[in-house]
Amino acid sequence: MADTLITFDHVKKTYGNKQAVDDVSFTVNRGEIFVLVGASGSGKTTTLRMINELLEPTDGNIYFNGQRIKDYNVRELRLQTGYVLQQIALFPNMSVAQNVALIPSMKKQSKADTSTLVDQLLNDVDLDPQTYRDRMPDELSGGEQQRVGILRAFAGQPQIVLMDEPFSALDPISRTQLQNLVIDIHHRLNSTVVFVTHDMDEALKLGDRIGVMRLGKLLQVGTPDEIVRHPADQFVQRLFENSMAHDVYHVLLSKLAVMGYLQDINDSSTLASGEDRVTLNGDQTVSDALTPLESNETVLIQSEGGPTRLLTRDQLFKFIGDYRSH
């Protein structure tokens, strides 16, 4: 059973006659990246900002670790929350090291431990501490500034990190690098992230689960595969049908052999000794392999005129993950 960190319980946010968030309920599990995706005005950023009380709900409740957010001391709540914005929000009068060390210092971590942590984090993102720790924000490129902003958000080891369209102003190369950085830090620290974006490919690449919003309503919550393969309605389907990650499901299984994701079977006894397996044609697609692999660890792929090969569940999901990361 999932360990729930955040719960939205029939939450509404109203501005005059406008319902910015309309009766939204969902959970965020500890240790996952939960992505809120939708067009401008869908309510995703408003939803995010209610998690650390930058905004207060008009109705309903939000729970953090089982306790209502409104019952927390605001300062204590925010010390447990990292925050990364689209607008790079480094303190201009503080060095790189001082920016990264801000929350650990506020939590009374020793100067020696904090200094070691700063150097370790800078090394982790290929920013040499000797070169970068004493630089000021205006001496950094936009991508470097955002990288430092991400480090600052994670440095205090918060229980949750909120990221509000942090990469939308960056060039595609920097954006891909920072997406990969977030995934890497998330896995190493087992952190919990709520990430807001209007980019469907970004949502599919980063999200363990995705919440799709439109006009203040939450239309669907699911894994990337569930969202793409089983959209809740035509709006969700149209939203994701042109994404790169959607294309992964149309790749021919025969191409997986060329790309090295299928296992050659050289010993016929391997087939004889194994349990009965589903056999798919090489002209079928990745989408066709997903259903049998839900109940089988492996399937056989038979290409016309070629050898029979083995596709494992792990290899298929590795292919999907690698495809999305490019």
The mean pLDDT value of the chain amounts to: 86
Q: Which residues contact 166 (CB under 8 A, 6 or more apart)?
A: 84, 85, 86, 146, 149, 150, 178
- Same domain? For 169 and 234 the reply is yes
- Same domain? For 31 and 97 the reply is yes
Q: Which of 66, 40, 150, 166 is nearest to 100 (CA)?
A: 150
Q: Which of 178, 143, 167, 151 is nearest to 96 (CA)?
A: 151
CATH code, domain with 190: 3.40.50.300
Q: Quote the domain boundaries for residue 315.
A: 251-324
Is the distance from CB of 167 to CB of 179 less than 8 angstroms?
Answer: yes
3-state secondary structure of 242: coil
Mean pLDDT throughout 220-245? 85
State the pLDDT at residue 273: 47
CATH code, domain with 259: 3.90.1280
Each residue's pLDDT tens digit, 26-62: 999 999 999 999 988 999 999 999 999 999 999 999 9
Please state, for a pLDDT cut of 70, what percent of the chain lies above it.
92
Each residue's pLDDT tens digit, 261-308: 888 876 444 554 445 678 888 888 887 888 788 777 888 888 776 788
- Same domain? For 229 and 265 the reply is no
Return the DSSP state at 252. Answer: B
Q: Is the pLDDT of residue 243 over 80?
A: no
Domain boundary among 216, 245, 274: 245
Domains in the chain: how many in total?
Answer: 2
Q: Which of 88, 87, 151, 103 is nearest to 123 (CA)?
A: 151
Distance CA 284, CA 281 (A): 5
Q: Which of 35, 63, 70, 8 is nearest to 167 (CA)?
A: 35
